Amino acid sequence: MSDPSRPVVLAEAPITLDDIRHKALRIRDEVTEEIDVQVNDRRNQIIVVGVVAVVAVIGIAYMAGTIAGRRASEPNRL
């Protein structure tokens, strides 16, 4: 009779080259998808930073133009 305290080990099928190939292809696909997600996230970050920079430059140019316009419209004081 078998000892109930010892676990029963079932024989597993040996790993074949096809098993390894399929696992490697699956891992490659997962890594490719993750890289695409990371690249898209990075691209979006760059676009957002670019938009913020353009808006900041336009704001500074508008402010500088407004200040210059006010100074030009003031009468000269001596």
Q: Where are the domains of the chain?
A: 16-72
Residue 34 tokens, joined? 């993750």
Could you give the CA distance from residue 68 to residue 54 in angstroms, rounded to a whole number? 21
Q: What is the pTM of this model?
A: 0.58
Indicate the DSSP class of residue 2. -
pLDDT tens-digit series, residues 3-60: 677 877 777 888 899 999 999 999 999 999 999 999 999 999 999 999 999 999 999 9
Nearest to 44 by CA among 34, 32, 52: 52
